[in-house]
Structure 1
Amino acid sequence: MKSLLTTLLVLFSLTTFAQSNGLAGDYNRTLGTAGDHFIEYKLTLHQDGTFVFHSYSKIKNGFPPEVNKYGKGKWTAKDNVITFSSNKQEDFDEKYTLDFNTSKARFITKNPRDKSDRIIQTKITFVESEIPWMQRLDMFKI
């Protein structure tokens, strides 16, 4: 009985780990060119359920010309929907100012049953966020 329970517990743990393993990693999106207007977004989803986000923009004749914005917190996934949360005491300071509390993103990848030759790049798309420029932002897995 103990060995059966242990086996089931190990299988459940491996299944849970395998599901988050596909989501964890680095995501990136670059818009514009380095000469005129350049915007870059970087998101890292860690295996331990934490994330770090960095937004860099360099706008020609902008004020200020270069802007860096950071955010961090925790993420959870259920049915290919990633929910982000930030704790005001732990995740906010002078550097990390972006609030991801109401942000949700959809994980998109090619279905393993799809045997066609079409290429679907793994990405996440933000579907909800109180950060206005995050709405409908696609970030591709590196």
Structure 2
Amino acid sequence: MKIVIVSLLLIIGLNSFAQSKDFSGEYTRTLGEEGKHVIEYKLVLNQDGTFVFHSYSKIKGGIPPEVNTYGKGKWSSKDNLITFLSNKNEDFDEKYTLNFNNSKARFITKNPRDKSDKIVRTKLQFLESEISWMQRIDIFKI
């Protein structure tokens, strides 16, 4: 009887682990043309629940011509929705100035039951953010 219960618990545990999504990794997006105007976004979601974000823009004729902005904090997920939090005491300094509080992104990937040839790149689509230029931005997993 003990073997049956242990086997059942092991099967349930493995099944729930197999269905979990791996949100962690590097996400990136480049907009514009090289040599003209370029905007690059890079987001790293670490497995320990922390994140680092870097935005780089080089605007021809802009003042200043190149801008780097950074943000960091913690992230959590529920279903396919990722919520970002930044602690004012720990996550902000001269370098890390972006406030990701109240930012939410949807994790989008191809449904495993979809057997068609349709290509769906895994991405995060920002739905809400107090950072105005982050709303509706898609960044793709690499």
TM-score (norm 2): 0.89
Aligned to 2:74: 74
Q: Secondary structure at the match of 1:41?
A: strand
TM-score (norm 1): 0.89
Aligned to 1:105: 105
Aligned to 2:90: 90
| Deviations, residues 25-80 of structure 1 (Å, cap 9, x unaligned) | 00000001121100000000001110000000000000000000000000001110
Which 5+ residue runs of structure 2 have no aligned equivalent?
none
Pair 10,93 (structure 1): closer, same or farther in 2 beyond 3 Å = farther
How far apart, in 2, do the equivalents of 1:77 and 1:39 lie?
27
Aligned-residue CA RMSD (Å): 2.3
Pair 23,68 (structure 1): closer, same or farther in 2 beyond 3 Å = same
Pair 52,58 (structure 1): closer, same or farther in 2 beyond 3 Å = same
Aligned length: 141
State the identity as a percent. 68
Where does 1:1-142 land on structure 2 (aligned, <5 Å)?
Answer: 4=5, 8=9, 12=13, 15=16, 19-20=20-21, 22-142=22-142
Amino acid of the residue matched to residue 116 of structure 1?
Answer: S
Q: Secondary structure at the match of 1:48?
A: coil
How far apart, in 1, do the equivalents of 2:2 and 2:93 lie?
48
Q: Secondary structure at the match of 1:23?
A: coil
Pair 84,112 (structure 1): closer, same or farther in 2 beyond 3 Å = same
Extract structure 1 runs of 4+ deviating beyond 2 A. 1-5, 7-20
